[in-house]
């Protein structure tokens, strides 16, 4: 994992920045979310992929790409969290003009 972070730091940083921008916009745009059934299936898929990566079930190059994709996904989610938190904080501190 350290090798992935050192070798692909630019892609991980790009995922973080993209997540930050999406998180910043997501507070303003309240779109329709996914259904509970879809959300459960997505969580099951993420947990299965994490289990496969941790157990080293997928060998070689596909396993390498799985590890990188999971790291980029985590970086993206961290960026989304930070962006939406900062945008919410900025909006809540704004005093409307009278």
pLDDT at 31: 66
CA distance 23 to 82: 7
CA-only gyration radius of the chain, Å: 17
Burial state string for 34-54 with b = 16 or more CB within 10 A and e = fewer than 16: eeeeeeeeeeeeeeebeeebe
**Would the pTM of this model clear 0.75, i.e. be above it?**
yes
Q: How confident is the model at residue 94 (pLDDT cuts 50, 70, 90)?
A: low
With 0-12 / 13-18 / 19 or more C-beta atoms within 10 angstroms meaning exposed / middle / buried, residue 79 is buried
pLDDT at 42: 87
């Amino acid at each position: 994992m350290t090798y992935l972070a050192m070798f692909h730091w630019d892609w991980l940083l790009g995922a973080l920045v993209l997540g930050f921008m999406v998180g910043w916009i997501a507070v303003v745009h309240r779109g329709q979310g996914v259904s509970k059934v879809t959300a459960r299936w997505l969580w099951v898929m993420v947990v299965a992929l994490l289990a496969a990566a941790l157990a080293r079930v997928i060998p070689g190059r596909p396993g390498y790409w799985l590890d990188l994709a999971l790291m980029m996904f985590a970086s993206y989610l961290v960026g989304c969290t930070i962006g939406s938190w900062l945008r919410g904080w900025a909006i809540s501190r704004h005093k409307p003009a009278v």
